Chains A and B, each alone.
Chain A
Amino acid sequence: MNTVPTLTPPLHAPASGPGWYWIVPRVAVALFLVAIGALVWWLHRNDLDEQRATLINDVLWMEQDLRFHLDRNAEQMAQIGRDAGDRRLDPQVLDARLRSLIANGHGLLKIDTLHATDLTDGELSGPARLSGSTGRAVYLPPERTPDGDVHFDVLVPLGGDLGWMLGRYSIAQMLSQSVPWWFAERYKLDVIDNTETVLASKSKVAAEHDELNYALAFDPPGHGLRLRVTAYRSDTRLLPALLVVTIVGLALTMLWSLWALRRHLVRRLAAEQALREEHSFRTAMEDSLIIGLRARDLSGRITHVNPAFCRMVGWSAEELMAMTPPMPYWAPEAAEHIRALHDGILAGGAMSHGAMELKFVRRDGQRFDVLISEAPLMDARGRHVGWMSSVLDITERKQAEELYRQQQEKLQFTGRLITMGEMASTLAHELNQPLSAIASYSTACLNMVEHGTGTLSDLQEPLAKMSSQAKRAGTIIRRVHEFVRRSEPKRMPCSLNDVVDEALGLIEADARKRDIRISSSLAGGLPDIHADRVMIEQVLLNLIRNGMDAMAGCAPERRRLLIQTGADAEGVQVSVRDNGGGIPPEVADKLFAPFFTTKPDGMGMGLNICRSIVELHHGRLWFEAAEGGGTVFILKLPAGGAAP
């Protein structure tokens, strides 16, 4: 009822509390963070596994490489030994081949040739026999040299009686010569024995990272030696790192944006709450107004009314909004007028109208007066979307005004009575003095004549005085005349029809109030009259008022007053005909007499003054009984500029 559908959508109440939809995003965010963590961890693990696999691969490769070198050395040593035995190589060539082998020997320090005779040493004999029987190279246990290096020997059987070749390796040298640079860059390579003692190491720096390491048996030379590779901290690999950084960054961005969204939502909710309160406050204000408010769109359809307006007219807001002009709350007798105003406003003339006084009717048929102010209704974009009216019920005010006017009239009437009374009293007193004196003088003269006490000359003085007193009375009368003459008519040529129209305009409101219909039938082409139009107007008003008074007791349909103008050879005339009860014969004789009245508050001067005015204008005023009851008063005035 109190919303404006076309202008603002109604606001719905918010869901009760933050509720479930706050839990879902929170859980989702938590799960998302867990998933991201898991992903990062998984990537890391994957990476480590991959690194480990690479490490193992590299270690295996390293070990194979070392073994390959050792095996090749052993073969070459055996070749050289056999060549030396079979062909009896020149010692110099032998020496050169040996040197060449040592030089490329991957840790080979020296090579000796052993013969069976040399195997007195118990230490060598066992392995020598073993190698001789198997035909394969046998590695001796490593030995630590005083300078901290670890050496180990290899016995390569030459077959037959040729003996053995004994090669000595330095582990440290072997590592430094065999391990390629890229390997050393990435890993620390240690050779350890059973007791985890590092025998040799190829490294630049110590690896801090002991997670990624791998050890495998270093066989040959065997004897519990093992190769242990530890990866240096690997360089952060760009792509995954970038990915992780991006993921974390995006996650943070998402969290921030969620937080920002939430903050925005909270603010928005607060703003909505404020708006709702403001709206309900305004609605409450509007509801408590006693001034009716009505909004209409450009086509004149009602789009909004407040409760005060509904109370005034008695229709509900829904009913009113479904209505189209003519509205049922327009008083039927004023509907045409209101319709014209309504159309005028819609055509854009609201500003020029200002406040209008109209007559509305309630649903129960009761009439009431309203004061309406119209103003264009602009929407938020300044577009003209309709008209806003404030409607004020001014019935009581009008009634009070009417009462005041009546009282004022009564007061004026009383005032006039008092003034007239005083004037009459003063005049009577003024005239009484000379009259009394004259009476006294005349009685004195009579007395003198009767008693014969005075001579004719004695009578002279009182008679002279009498005549002077009579003059005095005459002066008083003349003064009154002069006073009256000051309000002599000011005659001008004028149209009788115009005077009638003007009088009708003045009496119209009064007639409507008394529910009397005045119709006029004015003859065209009337000659002008030479008259004081205000006076003639007063005469007409008086006659019309008398006519209306005469019909006060009539049935409403008989309350009709007819005013006609016309002309004949004698002059122009206007007649005022009522449908009242007529004038009884005993009243008719005294009708124009001064101080005669049939009205409770009348002064009895009206018709008397009317006749005086008409006679001043050399006209006639009389009345006749009208056909079908009532009376017709006829005022006849000479046409044209009759001689004053």
Chain B
Amino acid sequence: MSASESQIFIVDDDDAIRDALGWLFRSRGHAVRTWPSAEALLDSGEIAHCGCLVLDIRMDGMSGLELFGWLREHSHTLPVIFLTGHGDVPMAVDAIKQGAFDFVEKPFNDNELVDRALAALAMHRQQVSKRAALQAIEERVAQLTQREIEVMERVLAGQMNKVIASDLGVTMRTVEVHRARIFEKMGVRSAVELAQVLATRK
């Protein structure tokens, strides 16, 4: 799954709102997918492709808040923007405290909503790509042997090969081989680059 694949999803039980928001987002050059209910979205199994969820807080059946709760339970971190009606503001504030991205009160300033949704989408995409990069580093680190990790830690600490060799009780030559293998496995060309890659991990 690539980060750019994720889309804005709209869940609202009012057909007109759904359609109008579709037009709105398209007018700004963004395709959105709309769902008439929370259940329809969950049943489709496409929740993983969602990068920003615009959610009506009040709906028949599963409400927006319930869907939000379900997502939190299932460790979905996607940003959620709530659409609230008159008098639902306290509910929406609660949702923000629980980690919702934002809420917009109806009737809303439409372009602002689009902006917020795009911001949320961007943030999500960033998060996703960041997570992917980290995952790649971890995968590379996992390929290292125990001895290689020991050597890498000393290289990152700025120790000379000579010092490392005497520390580990091996020859300078062996250290050099290890070092070359580490650079190869981690996909870097220098110790500085290695430090940069590993810095994102911390």
Contacts and interface: CB of A to CB of B under 8 A. Distances in A.
A435 B107 contact: yes
Interface stretch (B19-27, B68-76, B147-155, B190-198): B19-27
A415 interface: no
B29 interface: yes
Contact of A444 (B24, B83, B107): B24
Nearest to B26: A444
Contacts of A536: none
Contacts of B108: 436, 439
A437 B110 CA distance: 10
B10 to A, nearest CB: 11
B187 to A, nearest CB: 42
A474 B155 CA distance: 75
A443 interface: yes
A329 interface: no
A432 B27 contact: no
A445 B28 CA distance: 10
A469 interface: yes
Nearest to B86: A428
Contact of A432 (B19, B20, B106): B106
A89 B58 CA distance: 194
Interface of A: 425, 428-429, 432-441, 443-448, 451, 453-454, 461-462, 465, 468-469, 472
B111 interface: yes
Most buried by B among A428, A445, A447: A447
A440 B86 contact: no
A425 B87 contact: yes
A437 B27 contact: no
B14 interface: yes
A453 B20 CA distance: 17
A462 B107 contact: no
B172 interface: no
Contact of B27 (A429, A445, A469, A472): A445
Most buried by A among B23, B106, B107: B23
Nearest to B19: A465
Contact of B85 (A432, A447, A469): A432
A440 B20 contact: yes
B85 A437 contact: no
Contact of A441 (B20, B28, B111): B20
Contacts of B20: 436-441, 444, 462, 465, 469
A420 to B, nearest CB: 13
Given A439-B110, A453-B29, A462-B20, 7 more contacts: A436-B107, A441-B24, A447-B27, A447-B28, A447-B111, A462-B23, A465-B16
Contacts of A447: 24, 27-28, 111
A425 B17 contact: no
Given A429-B86, A436-B106, A454 B16 contact: no
B27 A434 contact: no
Nearest to A442: B110
B29 A444 contact: no
A299 B96 CA distance: 85
Interface of B: 14, 16-17, 19-21, 23-24, 26-29, 58, 83, 85-87, 106-108, 110-111
Given A428-B86, A432-B85, A435-B107, A454 B14 contact: no
B116 to A, nearest CB: 14
Nearest to B84: A432
B27 A448 contact: yes
Contacts of A433: 14, 16-17, 106
Contacts of A434: 16
8 contacts: A433-B17, A433-B106, A437-B17, A439-B107, A443-B110, A453-B29, A461-B23, A472-B16
A454 B27 contact: yes
Most buried by B among A428, A429, A432: A432
B85 A444 contact: no
A66 B111 CA distance: 186
Contacts of A440: 17, 20-21, 23-24, 110
Contact of A425 (B26, B86, B107, B110): B86
B8 to A, nearest CB: 14
A443 B19 contact: no
Contacts of A436: 17, 20, 83, 106-108
A442 to B, nearest CB: 8
A433 B14 CA distance: 7
B29 A437 contact: no
Contacts of B27: 443-448, 451, 453-454
A435 B106 CA distance: 8
A443 B107 CA distance: 12
A454 B85 CA distance: 31
B105 to A, nearest CB: 9
Contacts of B110: 439-440, 443-444
Contacts of B17: 433, 436-437, 440
Nearest to A422: B87
A417 to B, nearest CB: 15
Most buried by A among B16, B19, B83, B86: B16
Contact of B16 (A429, A437, A461): A437
B155 to A, nearest CB: 53
A447 B111 CA distance: 9
B85 A428 contact: yes
A428 B106 CA distance: 10
Nearest to A443: B110
A196 B111 CA distance: 179
A439 B111 CA distance: 10
Nearest to B18: A437
A291 to B, nearest CB: 56
A270 to B, nearest CB: 86
Contacts of A438: 20
